[in-house]
Amino acid sequence: MAGVVVVPESLVYIKPEDEVFPSHVPYIIVGAGAAGMSAARSIRASDPTSRILLISGGAIAEPGIKETSFVEPPPYLRPPLSKELWNRSLDKEKKLLRSDGDIRRHSWLYYEPDSFFLKPEDLSSVQYGGVALMRGDPVVRLDPDKHTIFLASGRQITYDRCLLATGGSPRRYKHLETCSQTGVNLIDTGHVSYFRNIADYRHLRDLADKLRRTSGGRIAVIGGGFLGSELSVSLLKQPKSTDSKNDDSDSKTQSKLSIMHAFRETVPMGSVLPPCLASAVGRFESSKGIELWSSSDVVSLSLIPNTNVNTSTRATTTTTSVKESQKLLPLENVIASTNTERVRLRIRRTISGIERVEEVDVDHVVCAVSFFVFIIQYNL
């Protein structure tokens, strides 16, 4: 029976009429992440003449950046997006993000360069097989009985074997994607976004650099997992224009940015690390000048005029009678653009057994949210 991918507005970044695709391939791998690339290598190792079609993006096409000529990037490592890339100078970063040439000389971000992959139209004609990379045309439907996949462009490809390696997608919190007062979509206005891919990294770093070049600002990172702590520390790193040796001086003197890290746990990474290690993470973040907001749930977001006044926190301690069944999900992944409006976070905190509601104004919000596996669902 046919299965349908449940996706928000599948995006197509190619012109299907200008592309030639094979009608049948022996192996199809949906998803060009770590699992998909490892599977392609394993298949080629066991069957050197195998022909493999690797569909980048899996079920949702990924936007490209300038260094990839604004097309979907080839398979790459995701952990450096929140860590190593922030430690590199701007010159080195541009080289790392390039996917052309001999990447072993200038980049460790990509598994293989663009030249490693065949064009989809050449897959059937090569003598010894290979791995073809299809970009910009995600899978929107799969019929396992007929061994057929359906692409966003309307094309169909049959296969002998298919592997689903679609990876994860940020968990969405719909009630925090709109302004609580006006109903304006905060993602559309650029005030809220999720951190997942290279395009998200590029957007966030450009925003942080822009704030540094002006009068500074405040960025809120929401989420108590690894990604939340990594981004909180990385955002404080002052970028350098050349490949000079990194300066180990205190980041508080390097950056005009003020970072606020909010999370539900009592300490950062409290749900994924032992108490002693989680406490050490909290002390490390505090030593870098990061403002920790523990035991915090983000209730809502709203837009307010930007009066160019230093960020201030307005705390209102109140006795609340919130039903225990009314659970507030933590937001863990956002960005916003610099404009005439700021974002006001309404946060519910529990300190020493007392529940109170506080409001804090920031320039941007980064949601470092946990992920769920993006699955192609079947009616079996």
In a domain, 42, yes or no: yes
In a domain, 96, yes or no: no
Band of residue 351 on the pLDDT scale cut at 50, 70, 90: confident
Same domain for 367 and 288, yes or no, is: yes
| Average pLDDT rounded to a whole number, residues 310-317 | 42
What's the domain range around 354?
174-240+256-305+340-372
In a domain, 271, yes or no: yes
Same domain for 269 and 211, yes or no, is: yes
Greatest Cα-to-Cα distance within the chain, rounded to the nearest angstrom = 74
Same domain for 30 and 160, yes or no, is: yes
Element (H, E) at 292: strand 291-293
Q: What are phi and psi of 94, to 5 degrees?
A: -60, -40
**Residue 54's pLDDT is what?**
95
Same domain for 118 and 213, yes or no, is: no
In order of 142, 150, 214, the CA distances from 154 in angstroms are 12, 6, 47
Same domain for 183 and 162, yes or no, is: no
Sign of the dihedral through C-alpha 327, 355, 316, 266: negative
**Tokens coding 136:** 């910009």
**Residue 239's pLDDT is what?**
78
Q: How many domains does the chain have?
A: 2
**Residue 302's pLDDT is what?**
93
Most confident of 41-50, 136-145, 326-335, 358-367: 41-50
Mean of pLDDT over the chain: 81
Q: What percent of the chain has pLDDT over 70?
A: 78
In a domain, 247, yes or no: no
Tens of pLDDT, residues 130-152: 999 998 888 989 999 999 999 98
In a domain, 5, yes or no: no
Q: What is the CATH number of the domain that holds 178?
A: 3.50.50.60
Please tell me the pTM assigned to this model: 0.81
Distance CA 207, CA 273 (A): 31
In a domain, 213, yes or no: yes
Same domain for 156 and 182, yes or no, is: no
Residue 245 has pLDDT above 50, yes or no: yes
Same domain for 115 and 61, yes or no, is: yes
| Average pLDDT rounded to a whole number, residues 118-126 | 91
Same domain for 261 and 294, yes or no, is: yes
In a domain, 142, yes or no: yes
Query: Of the candidates 291, 67, 300, 356, which has an alpha carbon nearest to the alpha carbon of residue 186?
Result: 300
**Residue 292's pLDDT is what?**
96
Q: Please identify, among 134, 166, 198, the residue that sits at the C-terminal boundary of a domain.
A: 166
Same domain for 359 and 269, yes or no, is: yes
Matching residue, tokens 């990839």:
68
Give the bridge partners for 175, in sequence order: none
Same domain for 211 and 344, yes or no, is: yes
In a domain, 182, yes or no: yes
Three-state DSSP at 183 gives: coil
